[in-house]
Amino acid sequence: MRWESLDREHCSLARALAVLGDRWTLLVLRESFMGVRRFEDFEKGLRIARRVLSERLRLLVAEDVLRRVPYQERPTRYEYRLTEKGLALYPAILSLVHWGDRFYAGDAGPPVLHTHLACGHDFHSVLTCSECGEALDARAVSLRAGPGAAKTARRSRSKTAARP
């Protein structure tokens, strides 16, 4: 599997990585979820080269993860806002943050806490079954080919998720 052809793979994760699989892209999304919208603010907060930031923003706009919205006319300047597709990434980003908190925050604890507005409690992300509500991990899931699977994969790829 070649990095530059991930978008053509018959795998949802590979196709997602074709858009999101760059560290700068994930950090741009982190900033977006923290309310950053303007190019200069991304650049300053991330200390990222302008060319790299421009490329990442262009890709996220092209993939409809962010949209450009003018905020000034002369000269025209734009800010970048999360779309519905972008907002749908929040659970994945939050899971990565909480994974980092668990394994890399150190003795001082996480640098940022997440508080649920409805109940006022700090929380950590938990993946649950959409049908029964039970918490999930890799040991509680099996895999089988779905309707979008390649015909050869449907016959040969019924597996149980990782069993550590």
Secondary structure letter of residue 122 according to DSSP:
B
Q: Can you give the pLDDT at residue 72?
A: 92
For residue 143, list its beta bridge partners: 159
- Looking at residue 58, what is its pLDDT? 97
4 pLDDT tier (thresholds 50, 70, 90): low
> What's the whole-number mean pLDDT along residues 134-152?
88
| Domain annotation for the chain: domains and CATH numbers | 1-86 (1.10.10.10)
CB burial class (10 A; 0-12, 13-18, 19+) of residue 5? exposed
Q: For residue 78, how many other CB atoms are within 10 A of its CB?
A: 16
Looking at per-residue confidence, does 164 or 147 come out higher? 147
* Six-digit token string for 25: 């892209």
CA-CA-CA-CA dihedral for 79, 84, 89, 93, to nearest 10: 40
pLDDT of residue 54: 97
Write the pLDDT tens digit of every residue in 85-126: 999 999 999 999 999 999 999 999 999 999 999 999 999 999
Mean pLDDT of 141-151: 87
| 142 pLDDT more than 90 | yes
115 bridge partner residues: 122
Is the Cβ–Cβ distance between 39 and 53 less than 8 Å?
A: yes
In this prediction, residue 164 carries a pLDDT of 56
Predicted model pTM: 0.84
How far from chain centre, in Å, is Cα 39? Answer: 20
Residue 163, pLDDT score: 55
Q: Express each pLDDT in 53-83 by its tens digit.
A: 999 999 999 999 999 999 999 999 999 999 9
Each residue of 14-54: pLDDT tens digit?
888 888 989 999 999 999 999 999 999 999 999 999 999 99
